């Protein structure tokens, strides 16, 4: 069933028990690998991501990750409800899908609107629009009436 963008909303999920470091290849999980995992897992067949997945290491000493995903969903959250508490394999690991609030504990920059850093990392203090990602332009309009 296809829905228009007007009848959709975002739902927020996190995937837990996914390795941050793959020991066979000695490489860290990337956004592309997460995307590939989701595409090859049948329970995500009709799921469309609303943004790039965000990978966060559980703790400095852990070798596990939490993957935050935002999906396009119905207004009632039907897709998210059907995914929450489901499990799937990632190699020899069993990942679990959990529901969550909008990106808790993951900083979002108020300048570029990307995740996993704050606006304090920029030397140039130019904010960008959350909708178009272009620099804000302030236009002053004066009353043109005589």
> Where are the chain's structural domains?
5-99, 107-146
Q: Which of 1, 4, 61, 67 is closest to 30 using CA atoms?
A: 67
| 23, pLDDT greater than 90 | no
What's the CATH fold of domain 5-99?
Alpha-Beta Plaits (3.30.70)
87 or 23: which leads in pLDDT: 87
pLDDT in tens, 48-79: 999 889 888 888 888 899 999 999 998 888 99
Under DSSP, the state recorded for 143 is -
- Residue bearing tokens 């990632």: 90
How much is the pLDDT for 1?
A: 44
How much is the pLDDT for 5?
A: 54
- Tally the C-alpha atoms within 13 A of residue 36's C-alpha that lie toward its C-beta: 7
How much is the pLDDT for 69?
A: 92
31 or 96: which leads in pLDDT: 96
> The pTM is what?
0.65
How much is the pLDDT for 76?
A: 87
């Amino acid at each position: 069933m296809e829905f228009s963008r007007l009848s959709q909303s975002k739902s927020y999920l996190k995937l837990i028990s996914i390795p941050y470091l793959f020991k066979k290849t000695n490489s860290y999980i990337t956004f592309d690998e997460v995307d590939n995992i989701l595409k090859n897992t049948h329970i995500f067949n009709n799921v469309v991501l609303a943004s790039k997945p965000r990978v966060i290491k559980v703790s400095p000493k852990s070798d596990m990750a939490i993957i935050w995903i935002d999906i396009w969903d119905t207004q009632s959250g039907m897709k998210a409800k059907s995914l929450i508490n489901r499990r799937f394999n990632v190699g020899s690991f069993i990942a679990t899908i959990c529901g969550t609030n909008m990106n808790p504990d993951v900083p979002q920059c108020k300048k570029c609107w990307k995740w996993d850093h704050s606006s304090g990392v920029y030397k140039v203090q130019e904010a960008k629009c959350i909708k178009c990602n272009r620099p804000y332009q302030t236009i002053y309009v004066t009353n043109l009436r005589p």
